C-alpha cells in the first residue's frame, strides 16, 4: 500500500441477495419460485462476515429486505458485528420497471423492516442493478420523502441495463424538487474520454485483479478520493446451482467465482476500507450534477 493510499479510506459494500435474485436471471427464474429454491445467502454472507472480522474491515451491507424477512438473524449478526445496515429494497425490481407508487411501497417496507430487525437507523439505499438512470431520477425524490439520506444507485458508465455515463464520479449532494440527498456513485476511472468501472461486482471477477488494484490506487493517489467497492455474497460461492440462462447471462454470473474470495482478501490487505457512513463523513460534499442528458430529461 502506498503512503497516499493509506490516507484514504474506501467504502466496502455488500449487496445482500441470493443467486436467484439477480437481474441477469429475471427472465428465467419465476418470482413465485424464490421461496422454493435452495437459499445460500445466509451461509455466504456469514463467510463474508468472518473475512471482514479477520481483516478488521467494517462494511455497509445493502440488504434485500426479502432476505431479511426470512433470515432476520443474519441482519442482527451484521449489525452486532459493527457493520452498517442499509437498504437494497424489498423485491429486487428494477426501478424503471416500477411506478413511483410501487417503488415507494417497496422502499418504505424495506426501511421499516430493516430498522426493526437490526435496531439501526437505515440511511442508505442502493437500487437493484444500479437502476437509477435518466428514466428513473424521480426515485431520488421518493427516497428523500421516505427518509433516506444517501443513495448509491448511479453508475456513471455505459451499460445495457444501467448507467448515467456523464454523471459526476464522486460523492456529492443532489438537489431535487423533494429536497436533497447525498449520492455516492459506484467507482470509475476517467480515461480516453470515458468512465471505466473499477468498483467491484462482475468487473472484479471478469477482469484481471490488477485492473481493480490500479483503479482504486488511481482514485486514491491521483484524485485523492475514496473508492466505492461492491460485491454480492453469491460471488464467493462457486458451488451455487447453475441455472439454465442465455450464454451472456451465464458468463456474467458464473465466470471466475472461484477467484473472488482470494481476490477480496488481497484487496483488503492492500487498501483500507470502511462503511459508507464513514466515507460520507470524511469527504467534502459539493453540489452534484447528474450529467447533461439527465439534466435535460429532468427539465422536460
Q: What is the pLDDT of residue 162?
A: 80
**What 8-state DSSP symbol labels residue 120?**
S
In 55-193, the DSSP E strands lie at: 60-63, 84-87, 124-125, 150-151, 172-176, 179-183, 188-191
Q: Is 142 exposed, middle or buried (0-12, 13-18, 19+ CB in 10 A)?
A: buried
| Residue 251, C-alpha cell as written in the block | 458468463
pLDDT digits (tens, 9 = 90+) for 102-145: 999 999 999 999 999 999 999 999 999 999 999 999 999 999 99
Residue whose grid cell is 482514485: 219
pLDDT digits (tens, 9 = 90+) for 197-210: 998 899 999 999 99
Largest interatomic CA distance in the chain = 51
Mean pLDDT of 66-88: 98
Whether the CB-CB separation of 208 and 189 falls below 8 Å is answered with no
Tell me the three state secondary structure of residue 281: helix
Which residues have C-beta within 8 Å of that of residue 75, sequence separation ≥ 6?
63, 68, 85, 114, 117, 118
Q: Has residue 152 got a pLDDT over 90?
A: yes
Task: Please compute Rg for the chain using Cα positions.
Answer: 18
DSSP H or E segment with residue 15: strand 10-16
- Which CATH code fits 3-299? 3.20.20.370
Give the domain ranges of the chain: 3-299
Share of the chain above pLDDT 90, in %: 89
**What 8-state DSSP symbol labels residue 12?**
E
- First-residue to last-residue Cα distance in the chain: 47
**How much is the pTM?**
0.94
Amino acid at each position: 500500500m502506498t503512503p497516499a493510499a493509506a490516507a484514504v479510506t474506501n467504502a466496502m459494500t455488500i449487496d445482500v441477495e441470493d443467486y436467484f435474485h439477480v437481474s441477469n436471471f429475471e427472465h428465467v427464474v419465476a418470482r413465485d419460485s424464490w421461496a422454493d429454491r435452495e437459499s445460500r445467502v445466509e451461509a455466504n454472507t456469514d463467510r463474508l462476515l468472518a473475512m471482514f472480522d479477520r481483516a478488521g474491515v467494517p462494511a455497509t451491507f445493502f440488504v434485500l429486505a426479502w432476505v431479511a424477512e426470512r433470515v432476520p438473524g443474519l441482519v442482527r449478526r451484521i449489525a452486532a458485528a459493527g457493520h452498517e445496515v442499509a437498504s437494497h429494497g424489498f423485491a429486487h425490481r428494477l426501478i424503471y420497471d416500477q411506478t413511483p407508487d410501487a417503488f415507494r411501497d417497496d422502499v418504505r417496507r424495506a426501511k421499516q423492516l430493516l430498522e426493526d430487525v437490526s435496531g439501526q437507523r437505515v440511511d442508505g439505499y442502493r437500487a437493484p442493478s444500479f437502476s437509477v438512470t435518466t428514466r428513473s431520477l424521480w426515485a431520488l425524490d421518493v427516497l428523500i420523502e421516505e427518509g433516506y439520506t444517501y443513495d448509491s444507485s448511479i453508475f456513471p458508465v455505459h451499460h445495457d441495463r444501467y448507467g448515467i455515463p456523464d454523471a459526476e464520479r464522486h460523492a456529492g449532494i443532489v438537489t431535487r424538487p423533494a429536497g436533497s440527498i447525498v449520492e455516492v456513485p459506484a467507482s470509475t476511472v476517467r480515461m480516453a474520454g470515458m468512465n471505466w468501472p473499477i468498483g467491484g461486482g462482475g468487473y472484479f471477477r471478469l477482469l484481471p485483479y490488477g485492473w481493480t488494484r490500479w483503479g482504486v490506487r488511481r482514485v486514491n493517489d491521483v484524485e485523492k478520493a475514496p473508492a466505492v467497492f461492491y460485491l454480492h455474497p453469491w460471488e464467493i460461492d462457486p458451488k451455487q446451482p447453475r441455472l439454465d440462462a442465455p450464454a451472456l447471462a451465464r458468463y456474467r454470473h458464473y465466470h471466475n467465482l472461484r477467484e473472488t474470495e482470494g481476490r477480496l482478501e488481497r484487496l483488503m490487505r492492500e487498501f483500507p476500507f470502511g462503511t459508507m457512513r464513514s466515507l460520507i463523513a470524511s469527504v467534502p460534499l459539493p453540489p452534484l450534477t447528474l450529467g447533461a442528458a439527465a439534466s435535460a430529461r429532468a427539465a422536460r
